[in-house]
Amino acid sequence: MATALTRLAVWASGTGSNAQNLIQAFKNHPNIRVVLVVTNNPDAPVVAKAAALKVPVLLLGPQSWKDGRELLQQLKGYAVDALVLAGFLRKIPDYLLDAYPERIVNLHPSLLPDFGGKGMYGMHVHRAVLDSGQRYSGITIHLVDREYDTGPVLAQYRCDILAGDTPQSLADRIHALEHAHYPDVVASWVEGWTGT
């Protein structure tokens, strides 16, 4: 008997390198597929990356985001089972948390609980880590709850802070960790609740 396919929507607001990585990682996976990319930024490079990989893109307008009913209908139309945040820069509203309980995962570019919370994303995180004098940083993959960056942690991976590091050089190593680990953790997470 064939195993049902778990259908993911990847959410991104920027360049989309993690979205692209996830799409490619699951392209030939027997049980998991990225079926939709969701963005709030029509000019984001992720739009072109998704199109090149033949994955539909859903652009969030302000009204559909605020109201939620249309967005939920669209996600239902794609039969989306779970949401995977990959550089999506908005707080997830309660209606999505209610519609996808424990089915929304996020990637954060620090070792939570350090350097998390409102306004802590991208280069803001890397600058704060370097300014603090930390000896290492890393990534946290966690479930999304009603607060910023406080949901249950699925996995963390770390890297050393090197002498002479800049926010950009640290960001480059953090991106390498993200690309190396996010697809595998997402796959394990899906397998944990689908039993595949």
Assess whether 181 carries a catalytic annotation: no
Measured distance CA(140)–CA(185) in Å, rounded: 11
Q: Which amino acid is at 95?
A: Y
Residues in the chain: 196
Let me know: does 170 contact 129? Beta carbons within 8 Å. yes
Let me know: does 170 contact 126? Beta carbons within 8 Å. yes
Q: How far is CA 4 from the centre of its chain?
A: 23
Residues 6+ apart with CB under 8 A from 52: none
- Smallest CA-to-CA distance from 106 within 66, 147, 71, 61 is with 147
Which residue among the candidates 108, 124, 126, 179 is catalytic per the annotation? 108
192: how many CB neighbours lie within 10 A of its CB?
10
Active site positions, annotated: 108
